[in-house]
Structures are given as structure tokens and as C-alpha cells.
Amino acid sequence: MKKFVDLLATLESADHLQRLELADADGNIERIENKPGTQGSLKVYHHLWKKHGAINAAAAKEGLALYAEHTEDAQNNPGKHPNIDRLFEVLENGLEYAVTAI
């Protein structure tokens, strides 16, 4: 199994972004900032959005694979990895997020 850091290196850079804003069906906004601790998630979500057009079930499945070893850690420790938890919620509850790049 490849590690997250190795998979992350294969994705397009998201360094040019300040943040991504994720809007749910009710218009609630969640943000992933370009700052230490969330830059990997910014890169993953940017990739998923560009490929799938939204954070939907297909994007969530791919995202969980990209997070690699962190996905299992998130399953075992709910709340520790909120950006991974969101992908589980997308799958479990049929959610979809529209994405705006800032």
C-alpha cells in the first residue's frame, strides 16, 4: 500500500490557492485553508474537485484511497481527521459539496 505522502506527491500543486470553500446543499460553508496542517487536504480536495466537479460519492471514494494510512486512523479516531471524516459522511449520507477555489 502506498503512503499518503507518496500519493500526495503525484497530485497537481495547490500552492496558488488561499483556500477551498465547500458548500453543502443548505448553503453552509466549510473551508480548507492553505496553511500548515491542512495543505495536504487542500491538495487532495483540489484534485478531487477538478476531476469530479464536486465532492460527491465518486470523489469521496477516491479521496479515502488517497488519504491511505490516514483513512484507517480516521475510522479508528472519529474527529481526529475532519477532512477525512467529511468524505465518510459524503458516502454514508449521500451528501455533495460544491467547491469554490479562492
pLDDT at 1: 77
d(CA 56, CA 35): 24
Helix (H) or strand (E) holding 86: helix 82-93
Kindly give the confidence (pLDDT) of every residue in the chain, 102 residues in length, as a single tens digit, with 9 standing for 90 and above.
799 999 999 999 999 999 999 999 999 999 999 999 999 999 999 999 999 999 999 999 999 999 999 999 999 999 999 999 999 999 999 999 999 999
Distance CA 22, CA 32 (A): 8
Q: Provide the pLDDT for residue 64.
A: 98
Q: Which residues of 4-97 form beta strands (DSSP E)?
A: 19-23, 29-33
**Residue 36: what pLDDT?**
96
Tell me how far apart the alpha carbons of residues 51 and 92 are, in angstroms, rounded to a whole number.
21
pTM of the model: 0.97
What confidence score (pLDDT) does residue 102 get? 98
